[in-house]
Structure 1
Amino acid sequence: MSDEPALRQQLLDHLTSRGSVRSPKWRDAAAATARHEFLRGGFFRQVRGSTPTARAPEMPQDPAWLPDCYADESLVTQIAGTIAPGDIRGQIFREPTSSSTLPSLVLRMLEDLEVKDGMRVLEVGTGTGYSTALLCHRLGDDLVTSVEVDPDVAARAATSLAQTGHVPHLVAGDGLAGHPDNAPYDRIIATCGVRTIPAAWIAQTRPGGQILATLCGWMGSSELARLTVHEDGTASGRLLGGQVSFMLARPHLPPALGLLPDTRDDSEREAVIGADALDDWTARFVAQIAAPQAQRLQVGNGEDLLLDVEAGAWALLRQVGEQWRVRQGGPARLWDDVEKHIAMWIHDGAPGLEKFRVTVACDGPQQMTWDITH
């Protein structure tokens, strides 16, 4: 481990130069927190050129392990909900379910959290415990509560935190419910994506406190939001920009697709906006506002399918020459709603996500609007 101090300093210099670390106290926390201590169970590396994506374990005995711990990259630490790096040999093709987020995003979010000395913080998504340790160094263990939905992940994080000298309040449970025992909190930060801000988070944040979380949709666009909680039980704020992405909280994952709908229908029309509009990150975010329950699938012959499983609504788009055609079925016209919202957004100057505002009632819907830029 003789190279570890130099690697940690190299990472810190990188984080400072790119603006992720902006204040002396967070710089001190980053300098004091050894990321490799939270990755001793290994992680999964993507196998180059694999299709579909394969991953192979990288363990502490591997020569590349320590340098990779200090790369500014997200490192997958769990596959398919139960599989840890030490559980397998060779390659695995299942989907990641837990990771150590790239340090530049971790520190950027902690800076964006705008904490001050003496503040009480709830972290939703302990993960490896690395970000929890940073919070503990900055605020003190007693002021940090962290909730992790996966008991095995939570246990590993508790061990790593104890080995680095930190004993915060750790809870294995549903982070979307918060942790009322230690409320009220001055700040809540989520290291998982959510489709809507849970009412419990608002209720457990003191008026004037802030919630920092990534708002996601099932079409794959997401953004970091910072909301202030008000005396009347509402919360409001803005998206911060930067195309921030996290794994969705498990209760917010989309439903299984099941059997795809029969899309044979002769009620086809010319699409005002084609499916290629959804290749733009911000336009896709707008589409998610219009059709929040819809998933986007690419099916045979280059066709795009939007599917709301629970409602049974769908829209199938195909390109014919330079023109896009759309067929729709079910109780709602998904693509009509998407076209309407994207057209309004374009009419208003196609503002970036940092121009979007979010309002959430503790017992009501989440609303998003954007500033007009012309």
Structure 2
Amino acid sequence: MDEYAQLLAHLAEAGTLGKEWRGAFERAPRSAFIPDAVWAPDEDAPTGYRRITRADDPGEWWALVNANGVVVTQVDDGIDDGPGVATSSASMPSLVADMLRHLDVADGHTVLDIGTGTGWTSALLCSRLGDKQVTTVEVDPAVAAEAALRLGAAGFTPRRVVGDGLEGWSYAALYDRIHSTAAVRRVPCTWIQQTRPGGVIVTPWGTPYANAGLLRLMVGEPGKPSYGRFTGNVSFMWMRAQRPHAVTGPASAPDYRGPSPMDPELALEDVNAAFVIGLRVPGVRYEHTWDDADPSGTYRMQLSDGAGSWASVRYAGWDADGAVHQSGPRRLWDEITRARLWWLEEGKPDLCRFGVTVAPDGAQSVWLDDPGNTVM
């Protein structure tokens, strides 16, 4: 049994890959859709990634392709000499199987696949439903062109569109299902409008602070809300038009300095805490900074909201005067400490207890346990 067959057997034994999808995964092997050049994490590389080619490093290439892991297929939107940010990838096979399971397709269903990427998910959908039932959209023309070649070589011919996935593709609507492989902060109205009432949208969903949830949204009747729950913890690359702002420092000296009431480690205690903080502190994003001359003593969490508010907190001596710096109209670190306290008071709810309502006018709210218990 080859490595890919072993992987599928393992996923089936774990209950991740159901029999309804097993044949599709066998007919559309992952290796047929991975580019000859991929990127592997490498702490010693200037950008944090090392280029691996199928021709020069066949053993390493095949090991990445047949493992249950992410394979990065593009960095920095394909621009040379960028900072080393992954911008396209082939997702973990177990996660692909899980998302397709939540999509709950049936024979005859039509699917809009947002984010063609390598083309693998499109091929799996075609293998299960038929080419004519699948429309796939990719924003990056170069990525779309490569996927088209691989899909054609593998014998799959979905309707292919180069365009902004947030706009969907109205010309083939209405769809029974929409499947997105890029994260959103808000579910676009276009997706709901292009899905049949009772249809399902499966998409990664997150906040600038925590890109963490997999949302399964059931589309309501015309003029009625759509409701959905988070089914698990995932982290996907953002839709390009919804990428969060870069974390920036203050335009002037901090207008507040003082101790922190909370160890900053607790602001990232686990994914559930981070998820709630992202909900309760809208717009905030963080990064870690330090001085190379004294990394442990200067290690800080730095935060900004993209609208003029900024904060930072030092990990070492976090309860000492001057550990916290804040400026701007919002006190971001104070908001984060209150958000975590709310999470504690609610009994540390898991992110799967939360859900989303999208109103007919596109207004979006997040709730805990019940749509009437709005938290965002």
Out of 142, 145, 152, the residue aligned to residue 132 of structure 2 is: 142
What secondary structure is seen at the aligned counterpart in 1 of 2:199?
A: strand
State the Cα deviation string for residues 250-296 of structure 1 (Å, max 9, x = none): 1111234455433433x445544342222221111111112221111
In the alignment, which residue of structure 2 is the partner of 1:37?
32
State the Cα deviation string for residues 110-145 of structure 1 (Å, max 9, x = none): 111111111111111000001110000111111111
Out of 57, 74, 80, the residue aligned to residue 62 of structure 1 is: 57
Superposition map of 1:1-374 within 5 A: 6-22=2-18, 24-47=19-42, 49-50=44-45, 53-60=48-55, 62-64=57-59, 65-82=61-78, 94-231=84-221, 232-241=223-232, 243-257=233-247, 260-265=250-255, 267-279=256-268, 280-300=270-290, 301-309=298-306, 311-319=307-315, 321=317, 323=319, 326-371=324-369
One-letter amino acid of the counterpart of residue 70, structure 1 = N
Q: d(CA) in 1 for partners of 2:42 and 2:263? A: 34
State the Cα deviation string for residues 57-106 of structure 1 (Å, max 9, x = none): 222453313343212121111121125xxx99xxx862221111111111
Q: d(CA) in 1 for partners of 2:318 and 2:308? A: 29
| Ranges in structure 1 where 5+ consecutive residues have no aligned partner | none
Deviation at 1:346, TM superposition (A): 1.2
One-letter amino acid of the counterpart of residue 36, structure 1 = S
Pick which of 51-60 and 202-211 moved more: 51-60
Pick which of 93-102 and 125-134 moved more: 93-102
One-letter amino acid of the counterpart of residue 71, structure 1 = A
Structure 1 length-normalised TM: 0.88
Pick which of 243-252 and 216-225 moved more: 216-225
Q: d(CA) in 2 for partners of 1:41 and 1:142? A: 28
* Count of aligned pairs: 358
Q: d(CA) in 2 for partners of 1:361 and 1:335? A: 31
| Ranges in structure 2 where 5+ consecutive residues have no aligned partner | 291-297, 371-376
Deviation at 1:56, TM superposition (A): 1.8
The answer to whether the 8 A contact 1:40-1:60 is kept is no
In the alignment, which residue of structure 1 is the partner of 2:294?
none
Q: d(CA) in 1 for partners of 2:302 and 2:363? A: 26
The answer to whether the 8 A contact 1:45-1:58 is kept is no
Pick which of 31-40 and 92-101 moved more: 92-101
The answer to whether the 8 A contact 2:17-2:97 is kept is yes
The answer to whether the 8 A contact 1:203-1:233 is kept is no
| CA RMSD, 1 decimal | 2.4
